[in-house]
Amino acid sequence: MTLGKFVHNFNGHLHTINSHRRLVRKYCFKVGLYRQGLMHDLSKYSPSEFFPGVKYYQDGHRSPNNAQREDKGVSAAWLHHKGRNKHHYEYWIDYDVDGCKGELAGMKMPVKYVVEMFCDRVAASRIYNKENYKDSDPLDYYLKGLGHYIMHEETDALLHSLLQMLADKGEEYTFAYIKKNVMK
């Protein structure tokens, strides 16, 4: 990688992270998740995540983790990230304790992390889709992965209902609903 390309990728990746965190913080604050808004995705600044993000920077249109996965067969940056951030449903995957069959299952996420995951998805959709963003984008992204998620059914139901509400009724209504009815 040339120095010019490195500087471009470094600045672009840093801008993408900062913009994303700023939006998630705004959304978390709207619903009363102040600490989570401040702490969201701080691991993205760690060398394990940041430098692969620079190397595989996608000009802010998609996650560098996808490019690393395509190149290496695995995204070490993503494995680091999801293991340290409780707002990712992947953090909550464990062996099923009910059936003791040794199968992976999604554990029920605390509501505050489901709400942060919702905020994260809305912010990511806004960042990646830029001026073409629609309130249905986070739901569309979720629906593309449907059937592939290992997520607790209650966690999945809450996330899906909030994404559907956003698509149908917009941000203002959905964030007010979350603050009043979900964050009790």
Distances in whole angstroms, Cα of residue 69 to Cα of each of 9, 66, 73, 75, 104: 18, 5, 5, 5, 22
The DSSP code for 97 is: T
Whole-number pLDDT of residue 169? 98
Q: How many domains does the chain have?
A: 1
Whole-number pLDDT of residue 100? 65
Whole-number pLDDT of residue 80? 98
Tell me how far the alpha carbon of residue 124 is from its chain's centroid. 7
Whole-number pLDDT of residue 10? 97
The rounded distance, in Å, linking the Cα atoms of 137 and 167 is 8
Give the residue ranges of the chain where pLDDT is below 50: none
Residue 144: strand, helix, or coil: helix
The rounded distance, in Å, linking the Cα atoms of 142 and 80 is 22
pTM for the model stands at 0.94
Domain that holds residue 11: 3-182
Whole-number pLDDT of residue 97? 76
CA angle 165, 171, 177 (to 5 degrees): 60
The rounded distance, in Å, linking the Cα atoms of 162 and 25 is 18
- For residue 5, give every residue at least 6 positions away whose Cβ sits within 8 Å of its Cβ, in sequence order, or none: none
The structure tokens listed for 37 are 């808004």
Whole-number pLDDT of residue 60? 82
The rounded distance, in Å, linking the Cα atoms of 165 and 182 is 13
